[in-house]
Structure 1
Amino acid sequence: MGRLANPVWAALTSGQRHLARELGDMLHYEADVAPFCAVPEEGMPVPAADLERLPADMYFVGAIPAVPEGWHLTELSAVLQMVYRGGPVAPPPGGEITVLDALDPAMQALTAVAFPGYFRARTGTMGRYAGIHADGRLVALAGERMDFGTLREVSAVCTHPDHAGQGHARLLVRHVMHGMQAQGVTPMLHVGARNARAIALYEALGFEGNGVLRHASLSVVRPLSRPP
């Protein structure tokens, strides 16, 4: 299974090995860093004893394991993986853009509007994040999340609904991409496969679909005794 088809495992065995926590055959981030765990291969059986020790509300992306009786995998929305195939990205005008502190709680508050639960208290330590403020409030955000060494994920791209349609997302994504290229890194990203508006933006910026990941839905592991 190629690393792009199993992105969490790829990140935790390469550019973010220092963030990896081992649990049997699984690897995962600490719960306050990112809600992702991984197995090396599709369909790998994971024993109940390991699942019981896994932090709550963790998600698999790419390779989905086989879980024992008493546990359930809930299929969530499919994810389209996109990789930047264009040339050098010119730096956008920087007047509006602010480099954010890695532990700025405003990032978690803003992302909770767009995708609650995925941006944790220490997600900002995974890479560099930048934002745009209005009236002293963070209203748009983009940054870096999974790191494969030569590839890095553009992530947390969101704009508060009150400030949508002003080009903030495009500006911030270009800023993040330019920073990656300056380090010799190719940008890539994941987006909801049904999010046509976001996909159109990324295509306009030079990203190309790498295909919907094999079993590319996000799956959260929960014991059957817990309500879904």
Structure 2
Amino acid sequence: MGMTEQGLAGLANPVWAALHGGQRQLAQPLGAMRRYPPDVAPFAAVPEEGMPVPAGDLALLREDVFFVGAIPAVPPGWEVRELGGVTQMVYTGGAIAAPPREGVTLLDPLDPAMQELTDVAFPGYFRARTGTMGRYFGIFDQGRLVALSGERMDMGEAREVSAVCTRPGYMGRGYAALLVRHVMHAMQEDGITPMLHVGSGNARAIGIYEALGFIRVRQLRHARLVLPPP
């Protein structure tokens, strides 16, 4: 299994690729921009780096949005706040053996426990309907969700492993790697290449993903478009 050169090139602007690929039905137009519905994901995209976005298009926004890859140019009064780079990684190994199912649950896509858990690690990114973007798997302890991973952006040839999160006090038990393998196996059964994004400074997570067979493909900018004060 592997991606075509065109597919790999498209990952340089992943939100745009997803909103014109496997998740085109979710794309909301804002002039030349596209974004996910706010209750699905807080991401927006422009077709190319540095594309000027007029104030009239930006005025259609009702909340801050995030960009990954191509970052727009905005008029005075608007702020694009850099959040640090992300490393994009793509799985290049062979078939993932089916991981053990015991203790792993396929989650209800609208389970509010997913948003509660992810708010511990990356607040604001996981929304009420993010779980509808793909399949999410979790591990429970005494009825409480303690670890999570699932699918987010769908670029067609590739899907993004995302929401890799373990509750404090449960780290170091191998939950993250186990759940990521579940997500990867499900993607491979669909003939899809797993990929992911991770903060470039998160050496521990990058090491885990490299051990699972992911390689670093590129560094991407990550920024937040901040709405001006009312």
Q: Same fold (TM over 0.5)?
A: yes
1:82 matches 2:68: no
Contact conserved, 2:63 with 2:227, CA < 8 A, in 1?
no
What residue is the counterpart of 1:6 in the other structure? 13
Query: Equivalents in 2 of 1:5, 1:222: separation in Å?
Result: 23
For the residue of structure 1 that corresponds to 2:11, the secondary structure is: helix
Extract unaligned runs of 5+ from structure 2: 1-5
Matched residues, number:
223
Query: Equivalents in 2 of 1:225, 1:118: separation in Å?
Result: 21
What residue is the counterpart of 1:170 in the other structure? 177
What residue is the counterpart of 1:52 in the other structure? 59
Post-superposition Cα deviations, 1:134-164, rounded to whole Å, max 9, x if no partner, equal: 0110000000000011100000001001100
Tell me which amino acid in the other structure corresponds to 1:14. G
Query: Equivalents in 2 of 1:191, 1:18: separation in Å?
Result: 26
1:134 matches 2:141: yes
Cα RMSD (Å) = 1.1
1:112 matches 2:119: yes
Contact conserved, 2:64 with 2:227, CA < 8 A, in 1?
no
Contact conserved, 1:46 with 1:66, CA < 8 A, in 2?
yes
Tell me the TM-score normalized by structure 1: 0.96
1:121 matches 2:128: yes
Extract unaligned runs of 5+ from structure 1: none
Contact conserved, 2:87 with 2:197, CA < 8 A, in 1?
yes
1:30 to 27, 37, 42: 37
What residue is the counterpart of 1:153 in the other structure? 160
1:198-217 aligned at under 5 Å gives the runs 198-213=205-220, 216=221
Percentage of pairs with the same residue = 65
Contact conserved, 1:20 with 1:29, CA < 8 A, in 2?
yes
Query: Equivalents in 2 of 1:87, 1:98: separation in Å?
Result: 25
1:221 matches 2:228: no
1:66 matches 2:66: no
What residue is the counterpart of 1:18 in the other structure? 25
Contact conserved, 1:31 with 1:55, CA < 8 A, in 2?
no
Post-superposition Cα deviations, 1:81-115, rounded to whole Å, max 9, x if no partner, equal: 00000000001110010000000000000000010
What residue is the counterpart of 2:3 in the other structure? none
For the residue of structure 2 that corresponds to 1:161, the secondary structure is: coil
Post-superposition Cα deviations, 1:159-217, rounded to whole Å, max 9, x if no partner, equal: 0011000000010000000000000000000000000110000000000000212xx2x
1:98 to 83, 86, 105: 105
Query: Equivalents in 2 of 1:63, 1:206: separation in Å?
Result: 27
What residue is the counterpart of 1:189 in the other structure? 196
Report the CA distance between 1:18 and its aligned residue: 0.4
What residue is the counterpart of 1:180 in the other structure? 187
Large movers: runs of 4+ above 6 Å: none
Contact conserved, 1:110 with 1:138, CA < 8 A, in 2?
yes
Query: Equivalents in 2 of 1:88, 1:223: separation in Å?
Result: 44
Report the CA distance between 1:3 and its aligned residue: 1.3
